[in-house]
A = this chain, B = another copy of it.
Amino acid sequence: MTLEDSVPTVDLPTLEQTAELAEIFHLMGDPSRLRIVLRCLHADVAVTDIAQSLGLSQSSVSHHLRLLRVARLLRAERRGKQVFYSAADHHVRGMLGDMVEHISEGKGGDT
């Protein structure tokens, strides 16, 4: 069984989809921002908590959070004085989860 058999027709994403995908990758491409996303992937976390646990400034975290929120990767929910951030939806969790898995496996694989 060749590779082509298991990958019959590989519809490449449209230019628009590619641009959208690139935007997501671009956001995840910054280490601080990626750590923030991962921190919020499976839990609601307040801004101060994120900053403290990752050793980043409140301002920096807030700036990053705005980008992630606008891009709909994270969602914000205010409770009292605090704002809790979490993954926007299961697609975000799925994407990142898959990536993390691949990275964990990776390291020595070839085709």
- Give chain A's interface residues, CB within 8 Å of chain B: 3, 7, 10, 12-13, 15, 17-31, 34-35, 38-39, 41-42, 87-91, 93-95, 97-100, 102-106, 109-111
A34: chain B residues at CB < 8 Å are: 18, 21-22, 25
Q: By the criterion CB–CB under 8 Å, are B100 and A88 in contact? A: no
Q: By the criterion CB–CB under 8 Å, are A89 and B104 in contact? A: no
A28: chain B residues at CB < 8 Å are: 21-22, 25, 29
In the bound complex, CA of A111 to CA of B91 (Å)? 8
Quick one: which of B29, B41, B42, B95 contacts A102, CB cutoff 8 A? B95
User: Known contacts being A10-B42, A30-B26, is A21 close to B103, with CB within 8 Å?
Assistant: yes
User: Known contacts being A89-B110, A111-B90, is A22 close to B18, with CB within 8 Å?
Assistant: no
In the bound complex, CA of A38 to CA of B19 (Å)? 12
In the bound complex, CA of A34 to CA of B41 (Å)? 24
User: Known contacts being A10-B42, A98-B95, A98-B98, is A103 close to B31, with CB within 8 Å?
Assistant: no
